[in-house]
Amino acid sequence: MASKCNVVSVVGLLLVLTLLQNPVTVSGQRNSGAGLFTFGDSNFDAGNKQTLTKASVAQGAWPYGKSRDDPNGKFSDGFIAPDFLAKYMGITIEIPPALVPGVNVSRGASFAVADATLLGAPVESLTLSQQVRKFNQMKANWNDDFIKKSAFMIYIGANDYLNFTKNNPNADASAQHAFVTSVTNKLKNDISLLYSSGASKFVIQTLAPLGCLPIVRQEYKTGMENCYEPLNDLAKQHNAIIGPMLNEMAKSTQGFQFTVFDFYDAIIRRTAKPSSYRLFMTNASCCGIGSHDAYGCGLSNVHVKLCEYQRSYLFFDGRHNTEKTQEMFAHLLIGADKNVIQPMNVRELVVYPVDESMTELWVPPTPATVQARESVSSSHGYESY
């Protein structure tokens, strides 16, 4: 009996020592030492807009940050997806807004700014190419090895299509196609610019169904049940180009690695089957006024309505998701399978050997993969997808 106890004790001690030598986060992601850099628009803005503009910004005031009692310039009632993703990657400090002087950028930074576009010259914002230029100005903060093994996360293009549709309400199919080509070509060029700056691991998020945003439903008077399909069509055209474009870049560029998160489908599934994800309202906002409560959240001169329980909502304001759903998306990014993010999830991407060519590439969804998504989401709810 004593010898058995001794064996158990030794085994237990070895397990403890192993865990101490190989710490993991609660999500199961071993800390790879990689950082996280984010680029794009208000979805990933960690507080840059309120630094860049001279005016007071809505997202810097309550009820933004409501769930954390901290209106910190993020477009949510609390944390946003990159905050959670960083935690799951084993990063123990907050990923800060790069435009704020004196912040700790040792594990990455957010260069995303609200109102950002790929084309044009956004007012009091930065295009993606300008964000990349800012990254290059700050490159001395990180060594080349750290940059190369870190994840570079991009979500941009929504403002380009929202502005195009507003300014060209009668654009025909040819004009729409030409504009999508211009936007996606610019995205490719800007990703190439980041690659030439030392980045090698890219997380590209497809555009949301823009016609289903509460502010779009409200402005185009679609009613509660319908989306504004012209904008959804533009988003679909854009998204269809992303995977093949990145495949080509991976084939032709040494060490270029990527993954694509199907954000469009993640939103559509929650809109179509709210109860599967423990949501109650998916077509109107928690904070705002109007037919879909989509306008004015955080504005001092607007008397908005605020929902009682934001965790039952998909959208906090007219364009941005609640902290609860942001956390869901981060779970998908770090650990979902190829039905949601492909050709690998972020956990796999950050440990993929640097400078090696990818052995798998993005493949178009098939009826079988779509059916698999529906089957898993119906049986497991938000925990899976």
User: Which residues have a catalytic role annotated?
Assistant: 42, 317, 320
DSSP string over 60-104:
GSTTTTGGGT---S-SSSS--HHHHHHHHTT--S---BTTSTT--
Q: How far apart, in whole angstroms, are the C-alpha atoms of residue 368 and residue 68? A: 41
Residues β-bridged to residue 155: 40
Cβ neighbour number for residue 367 with a 10 Å cutoff:
7
Encoded tokens for 177: 């196609």
The answer to whether 339 and 384 are in contact (CB under 8 A) is: no
* Residue 185 exposed, middle or buried by CB count within 10 Å (0-12, 13-18, 19+): middle
The answer to whether 95 and 86 have CB atoms below 8 angstroms apart is yes
203 φ/ψ angles, rounded to the nearest 5 degrees? -115, 110
Within 13 Å of residue 75, how many CA atoms lie on the same side as its CB? 21
Enumerate residues 6+ apart whose C-beta is below 8 A from 23: 30, 31, 90
SS3 51: helix
Going by the DSSP 8-state scheme, the letter that residue 297 receives in this structure is T
Tell which phi-psi region holds residue 141, choosing left (phi > 0), alpha (psi between -120 and 50) or beta: alpha
Six-digit token string for 263: 């954000």
Report the half-sphere exposure of 80 (CA within 13 A, side-chain side): 26
Cβ pair 112, 153 in contact under 8 A: no
Taking the mean position of all CA atoms in its chain, how far away is CA 146? 21
